[in-house]
Amino acid sequence: MFIIAFVVWCILCWKPDTEHLIAGGIVSLIVAVIMGSLFVTRPHLMIHPVRVFYFLFWYIPVFMWELLKANFDVAYRVAHPGLPIKPGIVRLKTELKSDTGLTFLANSITLTPGTLTVDINKDDGILYIHWINVVGSDPATTFKEIGSRFEPILKKIFEEDVVSK
């Protein structure tokens, strides 16, 4: 967490002088101490090479593709004279158990336009999602349309037993 906060600080400041680096180090340390446990409960798992590979070369490209498709879909709906939308809240059951995996799934869904994660029930692995154009009414269709693109990837990245096999 310290390294990530410090890198973000350096990018945002863009001044490689001593005062900015010292201030960035202090602020990054404070952020890491206060907020570190909120983001990743098992940080040692995140540096595993297989997880990093899956994240960089599988999750990021899939997420970017889904983001692009969703942007065009929402732009079409906005520009269409009939405004073809059927908004609603759907229930998505996931097999992800880790806090980080659930958070990534919820944020991946929320960051693609047309969907917004409203609530997460961690105990049951259920996400409630507001969807701009609900397709179908059964959970299998909902999962196929929203969650099936991200869940298998996030399971490989964040679920502990997948990498150790």
67, pLDDT greater than 50: yes
134, pLDDT greater than 70: yes
Question: Rounded CA gap, 148 and 18, in Å?
Answer: 47
Q: What is the mean pLDDT of residues 93-118?
A: 89
What per-residue confidence (pLDDT) applies to 100? 82
What per-residue confidence (pLDDT) applies to 163? 46
Q: What contacts 28, CB < 8 A, 6 or more positions away?
A: 2, 3, 5, 6, 9
Of 63, 34, 41, nearest to 158 (Cα)? 41
- Please report, rounded to a whole number, the percentage of residues in the chain having pLDDT higher than 70: 90
Question: Rounded CA gap, 143 and 139, in Å?
Answer: 6
Q: Where are the domains of the chain?
A: 2-39, 49-164
pTM, two decimal places: 0.73
